[in-house]
Amino acid sequence: MKNVVFLASLLLSTAALADGKPNVVILATGGTIAGAGAGVANSATYQAAKVPVDKLIAGVPELASLAQVRGEQVFQIASESFTDAHLVTLGKRVAALARQPDVDGIVITHGTDTLEESAFFLNLVLKTDKPVVLVGSMRPGTAMSADGMLNLYNAVAVAAAKDARAKGVLVTLNDEIHTGRDVSKAANLRTDAFKSPWGPLGMIVEGKTYWFRSPAKRHTTASEFDIDQLDRLAPVEIAYGAGNASPTAYKAFAEGGARAVIHAGTGNGSVSSAVVPTLQALRGQGVQIIRSSRVVGGGFVLRNAEQPDDKYDWVVAHDLNPQKARILAAVALTRTGDTKALQRMFMEY
């Protein structure tokens, strides 16, 4: 079997050299981009993760004009069912492919619900400057005005582009290129669903990339984290702040073994007076308390504003939303439990 895989890789590399096209591997994980509805009018009602990767590729024959493309089915799930174990498995497979000299770029098809979390995780732990691009769709391929075909075409165009190297893990939807660090799903029924609070990095037009800014935060080859040194992530949970807040969820998460709780606070990561004593007590028991904000669209949590973080030995998530803060905490806590070190990481990544 290994000889067959080696031969296939050798043939792919030889073919690519012959026509000068880069080699791009598409790793499929499921999601809406692989979904199917009962009819063409079903754009929001459908079953995700139905179409295998070979059919996705065959459905966009224009990919051959961009690169030598081959596919691999890693998972076939809806992304809301992604676990930390899935993240580690995916990360290790991407890292292995990135080390191959006959692989120039990698595309990952992914459900949009947790695409931003997977993108940020990979941005933290991959040690490669090759383009790694996550892509999804907001409508299944069976729907009128389905967006998956063009999104996939654009993703391969970015993965094949030399100017996409060393920019970290990227996300492409709706003709835009985003950094996996910033981007989040901001709508659930429109094709322009993905937004970055600080704006996209660039655009793709007719298969060509146009860049307008570069990521400022640490990522990939500049990261202190490495997927090859990770077998599991630390357990981290998110508790949502709201009016009439109670400490029930925080206590339950701690009792369930969470090493950190992300507080998805109102405004500037504010914490209800009814919850503060519980968070102080949990920190005294060794649970990290990380203040994030549930606010959508920009801004960041200021340290020692709203709450005396230095006094309580808490961490602020800076501009990371709660779900991205969970990812960074889950990775960071595999290396350190020191609050100051964690705060440094939240400022640098």
Please write the tens of the pLDDT for every residue from 219-272: 999 999 999 999 999 999 999 999 999 999 999 999 999 999 999 999 999 999
User: Is residue 10 scored above 80 in pLDDT?
Assistant: no
* Sequential DSSP letters for 116-164: HHHHHHHHHH----S-EEEE--SS-TTSTT--HHHHHHHHHHHHH-GGG
**Structure tokens of 138?**
């907001």
Query: What band does 299 get if pLDDT is binned at 50, 70 and 90?
Result: confident
Distance of CA 113 to the CA centre of its chain: 10
- Other Cβ atoms less than 10 A from the Cβ of 268: the count is 16
Q: Which CATH class is domain 18-222?
A: alpha beta
Structure tokens, 147: 């967006």
Mean pLDDT of 94-122: 98
Higher pLDDT, 168 or 44: 168
Q: In the chain, what are the domain boundaries?
A: 18-222, 235-348
Residue positions forming the annotated binding site:
79, 112-113
CA dihedral defined by 229, 113, 196, 315, rounded to 10 degrees? -50
Q: Residue 54 class from Cβ within 10 Å (0-12 exposed, 13-18 middle, 19+ buried)?
A: middle
Give the active site residues: 32, 112
Residues β-bridged to residue 15: none
Q: What are phi and psi of 70, to 5 degrees?
A: -135, 155
Query: What mean pLDDT, rounded, does the chain reach?
Result: 94
| pLDDT-based confidence at residue 298 (cuts at 50, 70, 90) | confident
Rounded to whole angstroms, the Cα distance separating 4 from 148 reads: 32
Residue of 309, 274, 312 lying closest to 292 (CA atoms): 309
User: Where are the alpha helices (H) located in the chain, listed in sequence order?
Assistant: 2-19, 53-58, 84-98, 115-125, 148-160, 248-255, 276-284, 309-312, 322-332, 339-348
Q: For residue 25, what are the contacts with CB-CB under 8 A and spacing of at least 6?
A: 69, 70, 71, 72, 97, 103, 105, 106, 107
Confidence class for position 96, pLDDT limits 50, 70, 90? very high
CA dist., res. 14 & res. 173, Å (int): 31
pTM metric for this prediction? 0.93
- CATH architecture of the domain 235-348 equals 3-Layer(aba) Sandwich (3.40)
Indicate left, alpha or beta for 304 from its phi (over 0: left) and psi (-120 to 50: alpha).
left
Residues contacting 100, CB < 8 A, separation 6+: 9
Q: What is the mean pLDDT of residues 319-330?
A: 98
Q: Which residues pair with 169 in a beta bridge?
A: 132
Q: How many CB atoms lie within 10 A of CB 273?
A: 8
Binding residues for substrate: 79, 112-113
Per-residue model confidence (pLDDT) at position 6 = 42
Q: How confident is residue 8, by pLDDT bands cut at 50, 70 and 90?
A: very low
Residue 1 predicted with pLDDT over 60: no
